[in-house]
Structure 1
Amino acid sequence: MERQMNLEPQKKEFDYSKRSQWLRAAVLGANDGLVSTASLMMGVGAVKEDIKAMIITGFAGLVAGACSMAIGEFVSVYSQLDIEVGQMKREKRREDAFEATKLEVQEEENDESLPSPVQAAAASALAFSLGAMVPLLAASFIKAYKVRIGVVVAAVTLALMVFGWLGAVLGRAPVVRSAAR
Structure 2
Amino acid sequence: MATDNDTKLAVAELGPTPAPEAMKLCTVCVATATHDAMSLPSQQGQWLRAAVLGASDGLVSTSALMLGIGAARPADPRAALLSGVAGLVAGACSMAIGEYVSVHAQLDVELAGLQRLEEARGYPADRAGLPNPCHASAASALSFAAGAAIPLLAAWFVTSYGVRVAVVVATATLALAAFGALGAVQGRAPGGRAGLRAALGGLVAMAVTYGLMKLFRTHSD
Q: TM-score, normalised by structure 1?
A: 0.78
Matches of 2:101 and 2:140, distance apart in 1: 12
**Offset at residue 55 of structure 1 (A):** 0.6
Contact between 2:95 and 2:140, CA under 8 Å: does it hold in 1? Answer: yes
Equivalence for 1:8: none
Equivalence for 2:158: 142
Matches of 1:115 and 1:178, distance apart in 2: 28
Q: Structure 1 residues 132, 120: CA separation in 2 closer, same or farther (over 3 Å shift)?
A: same
Equivalence for 2:115: 89
Equivalence for 1:100: 122
Letter of the 1:68 counterpart: S
Aligned with 1:112: secondary structure? coil
Deviations 1:88-135 (Å, cap 9, x if unpaired)? Answer: 112222x2xxx334xx3xx22xx2322121121111111100100111
**Offset at residue 25 of structure 1 (A):** 2.5
Q: TM-score, normalised by structure 2?
A: 0.65
Equivalence for 2:89: 63
4+ residue segments displaced more than 4 Å? 169-173
Deviations 1:117-171 (Å, cap 9, x if unpaired)? Answer: 1121111111100100111112112222112111111111111111123334445
Task: Trace 1:14-25 onto structure 2 (pairs within 5 A).
Answer: 15-25=40-50
Equivalence for 1:118: 134
Matches of 1:90 and 1:173, distance apart in 2: 38
Q: CA RMSD in A?
A: 1.8
1:158 maps onto 2:174 in alignment: yes
Structure 2, gaps ≥5 residues long: 1-39, 198-221
Equivalence for 1:3: none
Aligned with 1:124: secondary structure? helix
Moved more, 128-137 or 171-180: 171-180
Contact between 2:45 and 2:186, CA under 8 Å: does it hold in 1? Answer: no
Structure scoring higher RCO (CA < 8 A, sep ≥ 6) equals: 1
